[in-house]
Amino acid sequence: MKVSLFITCISDALFPRVGEAMARLLARYGVELQFPTAQTCCGQPAFNSGYWKQARESAITILDAFEDSDFVIAPSGSCTGMLHHYPKLFENEPAYLERAERLRAKSYEFTQFLVKVLGVTDVGATFSHKVTYHPSCHGTRILGVKEEPLLLMEHVEGLELVPLPFAEDCCGFGGTFAIKMGDISGAMVTEKADHVIESEAEVLVGLDLACLMNIAGNLMYRGENVRVMHLAELLYEGVIAGESTHIKA
Domains located in the chain, CATH noted: 3-117 (no CATH), 130-248 (3.40.50)
Is residue 248 over pLDDT 70? no
Q: Looking at residues 170-197, what average pLDDT do you find?
A: 92
Is residue 164 over pLDDT 60? yes
Look at residues 153, 133, 129 and name the one whose alpha carbon lies nearest to residue 202.
129
Is-contact 35 3, C-beta < 8 A? no
84 pLDDT band, cuts 50/70/90, is: very high
Q: Looking at residues 107-120, what average pLDDT do you find?
A: 98
Determine the Cα angle at 32 with ends 28 and 34, to 5°: 150
Of 35-39, 208-212, 244-248, least confident by mean pLDDT is 244-248
Cβ partners under 8 Å of residue 148, min gap 6: 111, 112, 114, 115, 116
pLDDT confidence of residue 247: 54
DSSP H stretches of helix in the chain? 9-14, 16-27, 44-48, 52-65, 77-84, 86-89, 94-106, 110-112, 137-141, 147-154, 176-180, 182-199, 209-221, 231-248
Q: Looking at residues 214-232, what average pLDDT do you find?
A: 97
Q: Looking at residues 205-210, what average pLDDT do you find?
A: 96
pLDDT confidence of residue 244: 65
pLDDT confidence of residue 179: 81
pLDDT confidence of residue 32: 92
pTM for the structure as a whole: 0.93
